[in-house]
């Protein structure tokens, strides 16, 4: 079977949840036995979000092959449970960069470079590169909103794809507006959004209409009539009580059924039994546990999206609802740590870059260590735990990371060797999947249940091996090392109820129906802490 393509666009306003729609549809099609891959096109000129502020763009999701990508790829992987690659995340910057480099090499033989055909051809090549004998359906989400000037080359490219081949479906996600005061639902903005698409040569096949309130049959009929779609192709996408309920609600509305009909896909009904059970466990968990998340970007929760979702996955598996106490590390100090962290059943310090808020994170580590509160440090969270251990257990009062201090006499965290990683932003960065060997009789080995693992990385600095012997004498266990033994991946404190720091990002591999082992263990330890208190 030739690969089919589904193109998802958004209209009226941004932030409607196109990514969740794309991820949910991917899950539904996979449950019908189809092999699915997702792709995201972003209209911004940045090459990728790797150097963008988390306040601008939320978290940077890292794929197995080390690509720094849009956070929607995290949704895709969590819902569809398929590892994606760097080609699943394409920005305008990537497209223009490739075209301009070809022009400089003379690949275009002196032609005048234009949006059409050169830019659109590059976009199409990225789309067609997703084709494979083991892929039945590619779901491509076009970022931004129809009408944005930045998105026009992408819309023109997908129009051309539909003219070049069969097996293409256009799915549009518009907003049904609710009038303040009266609460009346209005479809006119949706009609105008579809009209904008039509002016670009694209007739949507399916409309997935976002609304907080149920959409009446009368409104659906009006939308179908004025937007030139079949009645059952006007799908209500109501706000769900939990994120992972969206596929179930869309299945109830018949989204996957009409998509398969339009694409002539003969498949069985989706088996959503296990997914439904997982959602029910999420909605009816018997226990609650509060985790303090201590970071420097807490004003925008999307900066830690995968961490938040991973905690929720682990909570569901432990029959608990995880509530997060957001703690700004810049505002945390030795004087107020008890006030800001007191009562929490666990402390988590996630990844990040730069020296802002670092001393507050170190305070959080010390509080968790001294008060026997379960602690989980991720990437930067591991590094600050090593700094705290060096200062307050090993007696190295000025210990620090070379990233934060050029004058410290004890750089317990320093720039890694040029022998590993790839060059990025003038230094070395370790990105993507790397193997790790787990030491026997450690918490990590017990939770993973295997000797060797692989996890995704995104960092420049590493544990300084010069301090291995001293820290081991003081009780720090190096629970995970690279296969060569040169890089420290996991540290543990065995005299603590649960204290684990990892150099990698386990949140990128957690799934709603298969939580990451370390998150599972951390939340379980936090629940036990709550029970003791």
Cα–Cα distance, 399 to 16 (Å, whole number): 46
Q: What is the pLDDT of residue 308?
A: 97
Stretch 34-43: mean pLDDT: 96
Instruction: Indicate the residue among 258, 278, 298 that finishes a domain.
Output: 278
Cα–Cα distance, 461 to 379 (Å, whole number): 9
**Max CA separation in the chain (angstroms):** 76
Please indicate if the annotation marks 17 as binding a ligand.
Answer: yes
Q: What is the pLDDT of residue 426?
A: 39
**Does one domain contain both 273 and 300?**
no
**Does one domain contain both 322 and 270?**
no
Model confidence at 177: pLDDT above 50: yes
Which residue, 444, 79, 19, 510, is CA-closest to 307?
A: 510
Least confident of 91-95, 143-147, 227-231: 143-147
Give yes or no for a contact between 93 and 340, defined as CB atoms under 8 angstroms apart.
no
Q: What is the pLDDT of residue 533?
A: 66
Residue 286 three-state SS? coil
> Choosing from 309, 379, 455, 496, which is the catalytic residue?
379
Q: Determine whether 505 is an active site residue.
A: yes
Is 67 part of a structural domain of the chain?
Answer: no
* Tokens matching residue 479: 């629970």
**Does one domain contain both 344 and 429?**
yes
Please indicate if the annotation marks 383 as binding a ligand.
Answer: yes
Instruction: Indicate the residue among 225, 257, 278 that finishes a domain.
Output: 278
**Does one domain contain both 302 and 379?**
yes
Q: What is the pTM of this model?
A: 0.94
Q: Please report which confidence band the pLDDT of residue 522 belongs to, taking 50, 70 and 90 as the band edges.
A: very high
**Does one domain contain both 123 and 28?**
yes
Terminal C-alpha separation, the chain: 59
Give yes or no for a contact between 40 and 84, defined as CB atoms under 8 angstroms apart.
no
Please indicate if the annotation marks 222 as binding a ligand.
Answer: yes
Residue 53 three-state SS? coil
Is 324 part of a structural domain of the chain?
Answer: yes
More confident: 60 or 56:
60
Using the Cα atoms of residue 257, residue 201, residue 155 and residue 2 in order, give the sign of their dihedral. positive
Q: Please report which confidence band the pLDDT of residue 417 belongs to, taking 50, 70 and 90 as the band edges.
A: low
Q: What is the DSSP letter of 2?
A: P
> Choosing from 172, 496, 505, 516, which is the catalytic residue?
505
Is 346 part of a structural domain of the chain?
Answer: yes
Model confidence at 422: pLDDT above 50: no
**Does one domain contain both 244 and 304?**
no
Q: Determine whether 156 is an active site residue.
A: no
Is 73 part of a structural domain of the chain?
Answer: no
Is 58 part of a structural domain of the chain?
Answer: no
Cα–Cα distance, 322 to 512 (Å, whole number): 14
Please indicate if the annotation marks 330 as binding a ligand.
Answer: no
Q: What is the pLDDT of residue 483?
A: 97
Neighbouring residues of 530: CB distance < 8 A, sequence distance ≥ 6: 287, 289, 290, 345
**Does one domain contain both 206 and 354?**
no
Stretch 135-151: mean pLDDT: 94
Model confidence at 15: pLDDT above 50: yes
Total residue count of the chain as it appears in this document: 533
Q: What is the pLDDT of residue 532?
A: 75
Stretch 442-461: mean pLDDT: 97
**Does one domain contain both 383 and 417?**
yes
Please indicate if the annotation marks 152 as binding a ligand.
Answer: no
**Does one domain contain both 498 and 450?**
yes
Stretch 192-200: mean pLDDT: 95
Model confidence at 502: pLDDT above 60: yes
**Does one domain contain both 229 and 298?**
no
> Choosing from 59, 489, 492, 507, which is the catalytic residue?
507
Residues 242-277: b if buried by 16+ CB within 10 A, e if exposed:
ebbbbbbbbbebebbbbbbebbebeeeebebeebee
Cα–Cα distance, 231 to 402 (Å, whole number): 62
Please indicate if the annotation marks 361 as binding a ligand.
Answer: no
Q: What is the pLDDT of residue 239?
A: 87
Is 82 part of a structural domain of the chain?
Answer: no
Is 240 part of a structural domain of the chain?
Answer: yes
Instruction: Indicate the residue among 262, 278, 294 that finishes a domain.
Output: 278
Provide the Cα torsion 474, 418, 414, 330; round to 10°: -120
Q: Determine whether 334 is an active site residue.
A: no
State which residues form the domain around 524. Answer: 286-531
Model confidence at 531: pLDDT above 90: no
Q: Tell me the CATH number at 226.
A: 3.40.50.300
Q: What is the pLDDT of residue 323?
A: 96
Q: What is the pLDDT of residue 421?
A: 42
Model confidence at 424: pLDDT above 50: no
Q: Tell me the CATH number at 438.
A: 3.40.50.880
Which residue, 493, 508, 363, 424, is CA-closest to 47?
A: 424
Cis, peptide link before residue 59, omega less than 30° from 0: no
Stretch 370-377: mean pLDDT: 97
Q: What is the pLDDT of residue 179?
A: 86
Is 76 part of a structural domain of the chain?
Answer: no
**Does one domain contain both 20 and 41?**
yes
What percentage of the chain has pLDDT greater than the value 90? 87
More confident: 344 or 418:
344
Q: Tokens 């700094």 sit at which residue? A: 387
- Strand residues in 247-355 grouped as ranges (E): 287-295, 320-328, 346-349
Q: Please report which confidence band the pLDDT of residue 473 belongs to, taking 50, 70 and 90 as the band edges.
A: very high
Query: How many independent structural domains does the chain possess?
Result: 2
**Does one domain contain both 230 and 294?**
no
């Amino acid at each position: 079977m030739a690969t089919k393509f589904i193109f998802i666009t958004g209209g009226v306003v941004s932030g409607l949840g196109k990514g969740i729609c794309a991820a949910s549809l991917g899950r539904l099609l996979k449950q019908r036995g189809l092999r699915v891959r997702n792709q995201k096109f972003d209209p911004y000129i940045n090459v990728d979000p790797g150097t963008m502020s988390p306040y601008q763009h939320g978290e940077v999701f890292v794929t197995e092959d080390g690509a720094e990508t849009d956070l929607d790829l995290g949704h895709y992987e969590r819902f569809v449970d398929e590892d994606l690659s760097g080609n699943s995340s394409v920005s305008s910057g990537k497209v223009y960069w490739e075209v301009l480099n070809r022009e400089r090499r003379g690949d275009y033989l002196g032609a005048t470079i234009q949006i059409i055909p050169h830019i659109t051809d590059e976009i199409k090549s990225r789309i067609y590169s997703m084709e494979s004998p083991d892929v039945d359906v590619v779901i491509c989400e076009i970022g931004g909103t129809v009408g944005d000037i930045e998105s026009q080359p992408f819309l023109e490219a997908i129009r051309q794809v539909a003219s070049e081949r069969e097996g293409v479906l256009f799915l549009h996600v518009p907003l049904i507006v609710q009038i303040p005061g009266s609460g009346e639902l209005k479809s006119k903005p949706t009609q105008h959004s579809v009209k904008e698409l039509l002016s670009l040569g694209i007739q949507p096949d399916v409309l997935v209409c976002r609304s907080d309130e149920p959409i009446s049959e009368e409104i659906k009929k009006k939308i179908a009539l004025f937007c030139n779609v079949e009645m059952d192709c006007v799908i209500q996408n109501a706000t769900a009580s939990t994120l992972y309920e969206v596929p179930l609600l869309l299945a109830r509305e018949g989204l996957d059924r009409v998509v398969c009909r339009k694409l002539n896909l003969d498949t069985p009904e989706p088996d959503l039994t296990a997914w439904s059970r997982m959602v029910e466990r999420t909605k009816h968990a018997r226990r609650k546990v509060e985790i303090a998340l201590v970071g420097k970007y807490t004003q925008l929760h999307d900066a830690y999206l995968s961490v938040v979702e991973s905690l929720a996955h682990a909570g569901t598996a432990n029959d608990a609802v995880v509530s997060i106490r957001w703690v700004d590390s810049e505002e945390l100090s030795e004087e107020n740590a008890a006030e800001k962290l007191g009562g929490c059943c666990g402390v988590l310090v996630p990844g990040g870059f730069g020296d802002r808020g670092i001393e507050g994170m170190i305070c959080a580590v010390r509080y968790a260590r001294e008060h026997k509160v379960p602690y989980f440090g991720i990437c930067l969270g591991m590094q600050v735990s090593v700094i705290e251990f060096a200062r307050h257990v090993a007696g190295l009062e000025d210990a620090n990371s070379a990233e934060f201090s050029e004058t410290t006499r004890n750089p317990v965290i320093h720039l890694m060797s040029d022998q590993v990683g790839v060059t990025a932003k003038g230094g070395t960065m370790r990105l993507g999947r790397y193997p790790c060997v787990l030491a026997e009789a450690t918490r990590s080995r017990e939770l993973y249940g295997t000797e060797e693992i692989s996890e995704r990385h995104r960092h420049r600095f590493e544990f300084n091996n010069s301090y291995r012997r001293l820290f081991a004498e003081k009780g720090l266990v190096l629970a995970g090392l690279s296969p060569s033994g040169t890089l420290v991946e996991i540290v543990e404190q065995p005299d603590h109820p649960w204290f684990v720091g990892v150099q990698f990002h386990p949140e990128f591999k957690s799934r709603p129906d298969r939580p990451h082992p370390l998150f599972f263990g951390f939340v379980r330890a936090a629940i036990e802490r709550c029970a003791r208190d």
